[in-house]
Every structure is written in C-alpha cells, then in structure tokens.
Amino acid sequence: MNVHDSERISGVLEEAGYVRSSEEGTADLVVFNTCAVRENADNRLYGNLGRLRSAKQENPGMQIAVGGCLAQKDRGEIVRRAPWVDAVFGTHNLGSLPTLLERARHNEEAEVEILESLDKFPSTLPARRESAYSGWVSVSVGCNNTCTFCIVPALRGKEKDRRPGDVLAEVGALASEGVLEVTLLGQNVNAYGVEFGDRYAFGKLLRSCGDIEGLERVRFTSPHPRDFTDDVISAMAETPNVCPQLHMPLQSGSDRMLKAMRRSYRAERYLGIVDKVRAAMPHAAITTDIIVGFPGETEEDFEATLDVVRKARFASAFTFQYSKRPGTPAAEMEGQLPKEVVQQRYDRLIELQNEISLEANSELVGSEVELLVAEGAGRKNAHTARWSGRARDGRLVHFTPSGEVEDRIRPGDVVRTRVSQAAPHHLLADDGVSEHRRTKAGDHWEVGQRPKTSGVGLGLPTFGAPSAGPAESAEQGCGC
C-alpha cells in the first residue's frame, strides 16, 4: 500500500512540474513516505533526516517533506524534532503535497497538514508507475477491524471502497498500456463491498478482471479469514487470469491468541479455507503472515501455531517477532515476553517453515513454469548470469536464459522453462528456456516507458449514479 502511495506521490509531483532527480545528492526536493508498521520506523526516519541536514545547509533552496503513516502518527512532532523539514502530510491528503511545498517556500516556515479522514481517494490522483509490466490497483483503503497489534486503523481510518467500475477502469487502463499483471490492494479485500452493501463484490470483481483484454495475471492482497467467502474461491478457480496464489495472514494458530489479537476466526476456520482452496486449486501456493511472541503467548499457544503451519503446508511465510507499537492495545497488555523466548520460538518456526517450503518446492522439480521476467529480483544474477521471474503461483525462479530465446529477454517478457533445482525461498531453472514471448511491457521497459494513470474518473464510491464502464474510462484513464 505504501509503495503504491509513493507512486501516487510521484505522479502528483510530476503533474505539478517536478522532474525526478537522476543523481543522488542533487535533488532539490526529498520526500519520505513512511511506514509505521515495522519496528524502528521512527529511528530510521530521524536518522535519515539528520543525514540530510547538512545537504540542506549546502543547498538552502532544498525542501524536505515527510508523509505516510508515521507522519500521520507523529504530526507536528516531526518538525519539532527536525525543524529543517519543510512539509508534513498524512495518509489522507497525499494530493496536498505540492501546495504545502509552495506555501512552505512562500512563508519560509514548515507546513504541517494532517487530515482525520480521506480527503480524496488516492486513486483519483495521477500515478507515476514504477513497473512497465506489473501494477498495483487499490480496491479500498482503511480497515474496519481492530486487531490489537495493528496501527493501521488508527492511521488509515475506516474502510472506504472504490466503485467496481472505477477499479476495473484503472485495471483496464493499465492493461491497455501493456501491463500484464495487476495486484488488487486492500487491507481486507474480503470486506470489499461492505460500503455499498454487496458482500460478494470481491468475487465479482475478480471475475470481471477475467474479461480485461491483455491482462494475464491477477493477484490480490490481503484477504481476512473472517470475511473469506466461498464465492471468492470459485472466482479464483474459474477465472483463468487469476493466479493460483493466496496470501492469507494467519498471525497465530492458537485460538486463545487469536482472541487476544481480536481476530475473530479460529484455527479450524482458517484450515477449512485452506482445504477448500486446495480442493479447487490443487497447485495453489498459499502463503501467510505469522506473529511470534504476542503478549501472553505460552509454549502451548506457540505449539498450536506450529501445528497449523504443519497442517497448512504454506509455500512460504512472513514471520515477525512481536514488538510493541505505541498506540495499539497490545502494547499495553500484560505478559510481554522476553526477547530470548521470542527469538527461540521464532527460530523454531523458521526452521519448520523452511523445511516445508523446501519440500513443497522440491515437488516442482521437473515441472514446466511460465515466468513473468522481473527486474532486479535476483541479488546474485550478475554473478551467476541467471535471470529471474515469478511463476504464476508467485514463486521466485532464477533461470538460465539460453535455448529458444527470441532475441534478447527483457523484464516484462514471458518465458517458459523447466525447474531443475529447489531451495526454500526460490527455484532454479538451468536447462534453458523453451519459449520466449516478447511483450509490449518488455518493449516499454526497454525504452524506459512506464504507465502513467491520470486518475481521471476514478473517485470515491457514490450511490445512485451508474459507474463508468471499464472500456469508456480506460480511454481516459491513462495519460501515458
């Protein structure tokens, strides 16, 4: 969500006449889009701001702006701690940034503007997309849940849904620019439709994405097990361009902990969804998020998590050691665990998950995979002469680009290859490429062209007026 917000911030600034600086250290404006979910976000921000102070002294015309979740949380505190910051804006008013910078320049003092609720749906703002082949599209912002460890509802507000027609218009606009893969974004995509009274809206949206020409891969994040309905599973299974991949946060396998986290599903329900997804899509890669060491977690609770991990057989898991987030109920709870206990449980969880991931990946050795070639997805590629791409199920595959390669392979192209080796976090495919398809996305990547959605016609949901159809809005949707 934050990465996509950054695309919006760039789009807004470019529309206001700013040009991206190509060299480090020469920028006249530096914008930090901050996240408050991970620990130490504030230390890192103030560390970075401290480093920029001397740059600003050398270039007095330079401006520094801070936005995003941490800005929403710390507000005026940011300019108190770093008075050389020129503008602070929150999660609800990304679009105000050029005006704040202008005012700060004119008044020669810092401008702080934080709104309590959404001013404009961020999707109404222009976006400067980072990828030629893959795009984010928000279906909603905010969240109506109250998970006790989470700061998101306090900083992003209540859930606001976009109209399906607007979402589809943006997806269509991206596809018409050659984008092959779209990830639908929401804090709780399964609640999509709550605002306009259609609890099956998300499944319908997935099916409608199936009709968009040129769109080859649809993903989404994140679903909430409480709101997961069977129609979403059938929409996934029956819509060919929806990828066989599900990232569904578990957080804990202990019902007692789930209750303390105020996550209103239980392990049995979670595993029931996993079973249904596997029955409908046997090859789906299911991934998850897990928190270790939530306040009050006993060895027995932790064992319950390991038990669900064994049963669910996740393809991979993002594992987090619980740490306090000021402003959340869990930060005040009794039973905060010592670091050593959390670390030890965390290591055990990682060991188990790595074992499962490796077993699942090993089953794929010998199978053929279709990859969307990705830019910068393999750290060792320069050394190994491999390229990297994502399979349809989201797995990362590093491949050797020899064989039936039609001219040069570019990020955004599609290749087919055979898996030759497995590791817990990736697959290798060293037997060459059996098919290489050059794509419009690859052409765009090659000339440095990125889609630019203008945001025209994409607004807050309203009742009564018919929403714009995808084709119609798609024409206006892209300013590329």
The whole-angstrom separation of Cα 318 and Cα 301 is: 19
Per CB under 6 A, does 150 bind ligand SF4?
Answer: yes
Select from 34, 96, 131, 188 the one that contacts ligand SF4 (CB under 6 A).
188
Applying CB under 6 A, which part among 52-60, 132-140, 145-153, 456-464 lies near ligand SF4?
145-153
Query: Judged by CB under 6 A, does residue 145 bind ligand SF4?
Result: yes
Check the annotation: does 243 bind a ligand.
no
Structure tokens, 465: 């007026």
| Closer to ligand SF4 by Cβ: residue 48 or 321 | 321
Task: Give the closest residue to 3 by CA, choosing from 162, 147, 172, 138.
Answer: 138
- Cβ(237)–Cβ(281) below 8 Å: yes
Total residues at interface with ligand SF4 (CB under 6 A): 9
Extract the tokens encoding 97. 């940034």
Asked if residue 143 binds ligand SF4 (CB under 6 A), the reply is yes
CB of 149 to ligand SF4, least distance (A): 7
Please, which residue, 217 or 224, has the CB nearer to ligand SF4? 224
CB of residue 208 to ligand SF4, shortest distance in Å: 24
CB < 8 Å & 24+ apart, contacts of 27-32: 27/62, 28/59, 28/61, 28/62, 28/63, 29/62, 29/63, 29/64, 29/65, 29/101, 30/62, 30/63, 30/64, 30/65, 31/64, 31/65, 31/66, 31/67, 31/97, 32/64, 32/65, 32/66, 32/67, 32/68
For the beta carbon of residue 261, count every other beta carbon within 10 angstroms: 22
Q: Three-state secondary structure along 228-268?
A: CCHHHHHHHHHCCCECCEEECCCECCCHHHHHHCCCCCCHH
Helix, strand, coil share of the chain (percent; to 5):
40, 20, 45
Nearer to ligand SF4, 295 or 411 (CB): 295
In angstroms, give the least distance from the CB of 191 to ligand SF4. Answer: 8
| Span from 67-75, 143-151, 391-399, 408-416 in contact with ligand SF4 (CB under 6 A) | 143-151
- Closer residue to ligand SF4, CB minimum distance, 2 or 344: 2
In whole angstroms, the minimum distance from the beta carbon of 201 to ligand SF4 comes to 17
3 state SS of 42 = helix
Binding test (CB under 6 A) with ligand SF4, winner from 131, 187, 190, 316: 187
What is the layout of strands, in order, in the sheet containing 316-321?
245-247, 285-292, 316-321
Question: Rule CB under 6 A: which of 46-65 touch ligand SF4?
Answer: none
Query: Taking the complex as a whole, how short is the minimal distance between the CB of residue 270 and ligand SF4, in angstroms?
Result: 14
Residue 152 makes contact with ligand SF4 by CB under 6 A: yes
Q: Which of 29, 55, 75, 153 binds ligand SF4 (CB under 6 A)?
A: 153
Phi, psi of 412 (to 5 degrees): 100, -15
Q: Which secondary structure element, helix H or strand E, spans residue 160, and what is its range?
A: strand 160-161
Please tell me whether 143 is known to bind a ligand: yes
Options 147-155, 233-241, 264-272, 299-307: segment touching ligand SF4 (CB under 6 A):
147-155
Q: Residue 224, interface with ligand SF4 (CB under 6 A)?
A: yes
Least Cβ distance, residue 300 to ligand SF4 (angstroms): 24
Residue 194 contacts residue 236 (beta carbons within 8 Å): no
Judged by DSSP in three states, 71 sits in: helix
User: 209 a known binding residue?
Assistant: no
Q: Which residues make up each annotated binding site for [4Fe-4S] cluster? A: 143, 147, 150
Q: What residue ranges bind ligand SF4 (CB under 6 A)? A: 143, 145, 147, 150, 152-153, 187-188, 224
Q: Which residues make up each annotated binding site? A: 143, 147, 150
